Chains A and B, each alone.
Chain A
Amino acid sequence: MTVDSIPMTASGEREKASAPVWQIRVGTRLSRAAAIAGLAVVVVLALLPMIASRNLIQDLIFVFTMLALAQLWNVLAGWGGLVSVGQQAFVGLGAYALFAGVVVVGIDPVVAILLAGAVAAVAAAVLGPLLFRLEGPYFAIGSWVAAEALRLICAQFKSLGGGTGMSISPSELSQMTGLKAVQALFGLRAGAARDILIYWLALLLVVLVTLSIYAFVRSRMGLALAASRDNALAARSVGVRTGRIRYFLWVVVAFATGMVGALVYLQKARISPDAAFSVTDWTAYVIFIVVIGGVRTIEGPMIGVLTLWLLISYLSQFGSLYLVVLGTVAILIMLFMPRGIWGETARHWNVRLFPTQRVLSRNS
């Protein structure tokens, strides 16, 4: 059978031919069902503030922001091949940029979130070329050094609280876009209303992040990176510009991470260098989420973040012990279930909710 007797068409199109037609499909019935279910979940979550307690709202802000960070780390490490142990650099930088913007300059906090992302992106753009000179595992530690350097630099700014940190006063936050509307809508005081507003922003952010990542992975760039991961030399020989795509990914991930950092600390309204640049909070937990759920899957971190939420809720009363448990579980999973909970399940049942593989299927 010669090549030209197999007409190839993109999914959705149909060509009239007497020979069987091969299609490249990405969606599956299950994934389409999942997409509808996902939409329903998002709608429910959006409406949740009407009935949820403030505690739940705050917990969910944690869940949304951690999920976003995990998805971002996952795409950077799993697809980009950039295993960074220093993403807290961008969390902290974004948070500090927000505080600087709101307290020092007086910008609207919501606008400041975008500013925070931009600042983080610029830092990534500058640090990238430097850090990329380090290979694999050394890049990981190098990113950690960069984060530490940024922490120490931020601690030098007395106007931002120096080593001990600072708070944003409620009056500085009162001008936040949308705050008055939310207050009126729910009849709440500023503090609770602010939490709801941030909750919605966090939900929006995590949905955007997840969908963008999904789109990226399915795009040509995502395919290119996956090919590079499998065989860098072969990929280069067909023209894949891995370096450029990686750099782009690194900067965009930093942008989003910066925004998440800003959002988190906007809600806390209090910042310190040690907290904003904490390896445990912004890298250890994130890695745990990804590992438990499943590296290189989009569904995985969702499972991971729920597991983390459960573990923290029940075990944090035991102090450092729960971190020991977390670490041990992560090690055991990497040793015995390296694909993570979702990864193993998906493989076993052949399930994909966010299908990323292109499947050649016959349609005759």
Chain B
Amino acid sequence: MTALLSVSALDAFYGDFQALFGIDFELQQGEAVAVIGANGAGKSTLLKSLAGLVRNRPDAIRFAGREIGDSPAANIVRFGLALVPEGRQLFPSLTVEENLLIGAYGGERTSPWDLQAVYRMFPVLQERRRSAVTVLSGGQQQMVAIGRGLMSNPSVLLCDEISLGLAPIVVEDIYRMLPRIRGNGTAIVVVEQDIARALRSTDRFYCLQEGRVTLAGRPADTDQDAIRTAYFGT
């Protein structure tokens, strides 16, 4: 079965600095895949490359049969690939509801994720729909960010460190929603530093270290020591 999203020999550069070296990566329809690794391993860079914020060779990234490696970010969300950026990155000038609405700007479909669906998943956002996003708690902001990503009804949702800076209970609440998102037909890529949580929520994982894939497989089939070695590289 051809993968929904496939990456081959991806090199990513920030100016002269090379962040990724020959990454191979695959995501099937409806799957949930984790990308783990220490700080600076290149996880965010991988997601940014997928989302079009870092440009690449056209054939480095294929999505639904299309070569998108050099497509601009604005087009990629139109194709059906949405990014929930690291650190939330909500728009401070927009209210909660407006942040969600802007998520739908580039989407080609309007279902199943619309405002009502997002509010059903995160009821607290409906209560605070008119408030500025800057006064929300970290967890609520993360919900807005995820909701914003869903509003374009993507086939693939890229989640960059959604647990960052949040209390464990809050992270639990958010991760509990992932199956619901998958259930509605969206494949998910989760980038995490929290290895245990990442491996619990996904079918497969990739481990990055200094810009390279050091290990890939199924959480159930892989032992702790192998993961530790691949993560830290010792």
User: Do any CB atoms of chain A lie under 8 A from CB atoms of chain B in the complex?
Assistant: no
A interface residues with partner B (beta carbon < 8 Å): none
B interface residues with partner A (beta carbon < 8 Å): none
